[in-house]
Amino acid sequence: MTFSVHGLAVARGIAIGRAVLMASSRVDVAHYFIEPERIEAEIERVRLGRNAVVDELHRLQTTISLMGPKEAPHELSALLDVHLMLLQDEELITGVKHWITDRLYNAEWALTTQLEVLSRQFDDMEDDYLRGRKADLEQVAERILRYMKGVGSPTAPPTSGKRKTQQDLLLDDSMDVPLVMIAHDLSPADMLQFKQSVFAGFVTDVGGRNSHTAIVARSMDIPAVVGARSASHLVRQDDWIVIDGDAGVMIVDPSPIILAEYGFKQRQGELERGRLSRLRHTPAVTMDGQKVELLANIELPEDAPAAVKAGAVGVGLFRSEFLFMGRRGHLPDEEEQYHAYRRAVEGMEGLPVTIRTIDVGADKPLDDSVRDEAHLNPALGLRAIRWSLADPAMFLTQLRAILRAAAHGQVNMLIPMLAHASEIRQTLSLVDFARAELDNRGVAYGPIKLGAMIEIPAAALTLKIFLKYFDFLSIGTNDLIQYTLAIDRADESVAHLYDPLHPAVLRLVAETIAECNAQGKGVSVCGEMAGDTSLTRLLLGLGLRSFSMHPAQILAVKQEVLRADTARLVPWAKQVLDAEDPATVLAG
Ligand code: PEP
Ligand code: MG
């Protein structure tokens, strides 16, 4: 039966494919594709985990049999019998083997996927007692997962070069169709792992339009919907799914007519992209001759070639924290970071690269296992520069690596989430200290321009201080909106209030641009507003000439720039700015 689920549109386009359901688990589970050579080893890891749990339960049974009925009631022994029986269940074992062998899931992912399949069978059972056994099944699977976590920890996820093998294998396996990922939640680190993978689209139950998970989905340029509430409960493994990333809708089990309609839309989208690609080498200049700089936001050095290909004239935001995520405590050292930054610089073929220092915390935990649950308001807590200043050794390592990469090309350094003059002064003295350390070691480094992100209202309201210390500013509208309006950018339940066009947000953006222009300092917008074509004319009218966005959005924004006449946009932008309801003026 066809039905649809509505969520928030985060990445445009249409995807049609079979559902891969990523089950949520109380135990932290890594999800990645394995190399075909590892199939046997992964099956063995699950087997060892299961055997260990069977042994543990047998030992418990023996202990219980030595106790009296008071200390060890009969129910306890019966429960252990049930758990042992579930552990021997053929469907659990063959299912796990199937996901490893045919889909190349790592062992933990295969186990949680099969657990989800079986849980749903339990849900459908009429008998109350049998339905209640679902909880037991979850418990045994969690025991196995915990055991597997302790020993034989997962191998490193595959790199981009291995993509072809996985894809070929998946497509050979009677699955000659694209796959789409449906999950309750995906962390930015999970998304990063899927960046090079085979998925044609994503849907998650939770998340806001500008959550970091959504941002990574957008950077992958594949259709995605977040905040689709119960999507992961309504979909079953291998269901046919249409994801409409423009409308924010997922259609499950589409009828042939619906499929044909979306197939048509998909082809239209491809034609439009083909048409836009002709603008790649056209300079971004408005009708009245204003030059506009269109830069790329990247997450990994490997994203640089796509940025060049999309016609970016540099990187305006390299979110360096993605190098630090999912590392299970082993953060990259100076050498590894230096090589990563250098790869990005060289990948940009002489174009400038703005590297933002680490911005972890809030919805970007370093590891899923250390999600910031200890703090009630992580977005207001130890995040970004606050994190760096709290750990100067870690920060200095990064500063040295960035300075060294600057010997290989034009590098700018961007500092996130500054609000206080004292933080600015501390940061600058650490940059000087990092230079002195490199001098002492006799290591080469290059000159950098230093910039600050304006993403806290306090920063936007004290621009003079920022302009005194920094060479350029970059407006992080994603956080600026979050902190101005007190709306959690990752929370779908308040997503309708997350409004880039709120007069307060517009005023902070407009004043930052105007002040920088007046002082002849560089200013750009690197939040999602920069890549939103419905806002290009407004930002141009406010005086912005530098936009940084996902490479996939550059050509569409360039098209807007080419059609714009800034002389006419200036008075209109002023009207939008002064309006009680700017969206109405913008639309009119
Ligand atoms: C922003 O806040 O607008 C920004 C670009 O930084 P991030 O989205 O990584 O927080
Ligand atoms: Mg930010």
Token pair 């060479």 is found at 471
CA dist 204 and 230 (Å) reads: 9
CA dist 406 and 318 (Å) reads: 14
Phi/psi of residue 178, each to 5°? -65, 160
Q: Best of 359, 478, 512, 524 to mutate for ligand 1, by most ligand atoms within 8 A of CB? A: 478
Q: Per residue in 30-87, pLDDT tens?
A: 778 889 999 999 999 999 888 888 888 888 778 777 766 666 566 667 777 888 888 8
Yes or no: say if 228 and 251 are a contact pair by the CB < 8 Å rule: no
CA dist 366 and 188 (Å) reads: 9
How many other CB atoms are there within 10 angstroms of residue 408's CB atom? 17
Yes or no: say if 198 and 167 are a contact pair by the CB < 8 Å rule: yes
Token pair 């998650």 is found at 204
Yes or no: say if 577 and 510 are a contact pair by the CB < 8 Å rule: yes
Token pair 């003079």 is found at 464
Choose the catalytic residue: 31, 83, 516, 526. 526
How many angstroms separate the alpha carbon of residue 559 from the centre of ligand 2?
Answer: 26
Phi/psi of residue 464, each to 5°? -60, -40
Yes or no: say if 320 and 344 are a contact pair by the CB < 8 Å rule: no
* Ligand 1: residue whose CA is nearest its atom 8: 478
Q: Per residue in 574-587, pLDDT tens?
A: 999 999 999 999 98
**H or E stretch covering 518:** helix 503-519
Active site residue 212: yes
CA dist 395 and 492 (Å) reads: 33
CA dist 177 and 173 (Å) reads: 10
**Ligand 1 site, CB within 6 A:** 215, 317, 319, 359, 455, 476-479, 526-527
**pLDDT on residue 2:** 92
The percent of residues above 90 in pLDDT, for the chain, comes to: 62
How many angstroms separate the alpha carbon of residue 223 from the centre of ligand 2?
Answer: 23
Question: Could you identify the atom of ligand 1 that is nearest to the CA of residue 528?
Answer: 3
Which distant-in-sequence residues (6+ apart) come within 8 Å of 44 by Cβ?
none
CA distances (Å), origin 454, targets 467, 509, 510:
11, 9, 12
More confident residue, 27 or 582: 582
What are the start-end ranges of the H helices in 5-73? Answer: 39-65
CA dist 203 and 4 (Å) reads: 12
Question: What b/e sequence results for 427-439 when a residue is b if at least 16 CB atoms lie within 10 Å of its CB, and e otherwise?
Answer: beebbeebeebbe
Active site residue 516: no
**pLDDT on residue 28:** 66
Q: Per residue in 373-425, pLDDT tens?
A: 556 788 999 999 999 999 999 999 999 999 999 999 999 999 999 999 999 99
